[in-house]
């Protein structure tokens, strides 16, 4: 799968069906994967931050979140299949986790948002094994990472905003085989 370069960010060009199939398999294999879903704002900020840009481009899946990316690809004469949002990916992973009885860890957002997100998971996706969660306002990264590593989840959903969430995932993913994804403000939506 050749990546498509939009202003320095190298996107995978999957159909939603292809991408979801890959995630389904990854989950069943307890694979270690890092998903980033850059929107135009993130593409622009990556241009000004080499460390961030390298982390994004070295992720396993780089997914175009936003119609602006698809339009950019068309203008550059390298059209892409479709927009695949971080929120839709979050919802797919949660549904799959429920079907596969997978272990999930939630990290990020405000305390009331994470609590409401946990409540929704317990209510609507009861077969998920919710192994841990924490809000996104903490001082000691290592302590949070140690908790994640100890709980050994299949999926770690990280909602700290960009680039914070990608830096966090990049720092700790090697110590815990899981599907790691930065989901930005998605918990604020998911929590209702
Ligand atoms: N957030 C957090 N800790 C922080 C900063 C932000 O948990 O130190 C959360 C914030 O509560 C929100 C999410 O990160 O739920 C994403 O924020 P934003 O919408 O600014 O990020 P984007 O979606 O644009 O990446």
Atom 11 in ligand 1: residue holding the nearest Cα: 109
d(CA 99, CA 102): 8
Whole-model pTM: value is: 0.97
171 CA from centroid of ligand 1 (Å):
18
User: Could you identify the atom of ligand 1 that is nearest to the CA of residue 188?
Assistant: 15
**pLDDT tens for each residue of 80-111:** 999 999 999 999 999 999 999 999 999 999 99
Per-residue confidence (pLDDT) for residue 1, from 0 to 100: 65
- The predicted model gives 60-72 an average pLDDT of 97
* Domains of the chain (ranges, CATH numbers): 4-190 (3.40.50)
DSSP 161: -
d(CA 151, CA 132): 7
136 CA from centroid of ligand 1 (Å):
8
Which pair of structure tokens corresponds to residue 190?
């998911």
58 CA from centroid of ligand 1 (Å):
22
d(CA 158, CA 100): 20
**pLDDT tens for each residue of 128-176:** 999 999 999 999 999 999 999 999 999 999 999 999 999 999 999 999 9
37 CA from centroid of ligand 1 (Å):
14
34, pLDDT greater than 90 = yes
What is the distance in angstroms between the CA of the first residue and the CA of the last residue of the chain?
36
| Ligand 1 interacting residues, C-beta cut-off 6 A | 108-110, 136-137, 159-162, 184-185, 187-188
User: Could you identify the atom of ligand 1 that is nearest to the CA of residue 137?
Assistant: 3
**pLDDT tens for each residue of 41-57:** 999 999 999 999 999 99
d(CA 130, CA 12): 30
Q: Which residue of 38, 161, 184 sits with most ligand 1 atoms within 8 Å of its CB, as the best mutation to test the pocket? A: 161
Q: Exposed e or buried b for every residue in 13-52, given b needs 16+ CB within 10 A?
A: bbebeebbebbeebbeeeeebbbbbbbbebbeebeeeeeb
d(CA 93, CA 97): 6
**pLDDT tens for each residue of 108-121:** 999 999 999 999 99
Confidence of residue 2 (pLDDT cuts 50, 70, 90): confident
Per-residue confidence (pLDDT) for residue 11, from 0 to 100: 98
Q: Which residue of 136, 156, 166 sits with most ligand 1 atoms within 8 Å of its CB, as the best mutation to test the pocket? A: 136
């Amino acid at each position: 799968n050749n990546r498509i370069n939009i202003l320095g960010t190298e996107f995978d060009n999957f159909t939603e069906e292809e991408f979801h199939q890959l995630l389904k398999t990854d989950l069943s294999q307890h694979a270690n994967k890092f998903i980033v879903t850059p929107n135009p704002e993130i593409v622009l900020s990556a241009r000004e931050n080499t460390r961030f840009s390298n982390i994004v481009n070295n992720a396993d899946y780089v997914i175009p979140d936003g119609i602006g990316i698809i339009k950019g690809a068309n203008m550059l004469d390298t059209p892409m299949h479709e927009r695949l949002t971080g929120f839709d990916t979050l919802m797919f992973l949660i549904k799959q986790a429920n079907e596969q009885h997978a272990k999930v860890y939630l990290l990020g957002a405000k305390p009331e948002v994470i609590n409401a997100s946990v409540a929704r998971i317990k209510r609507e996706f009861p077969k998920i094994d919710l192994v841990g969660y924490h809000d996104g306002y903490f001082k000691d990264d290592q302590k949070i990472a140690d908790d994640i590593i100890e709980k050994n989840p299949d999926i770690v959903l990280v909602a700290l905003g960009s680039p914070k969430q990608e830096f966090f995932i990049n720092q700790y993913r090697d110590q815990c085989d899981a599907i790691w994804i930065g989901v930005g403000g998605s918990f604020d939506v998911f929590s209702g």
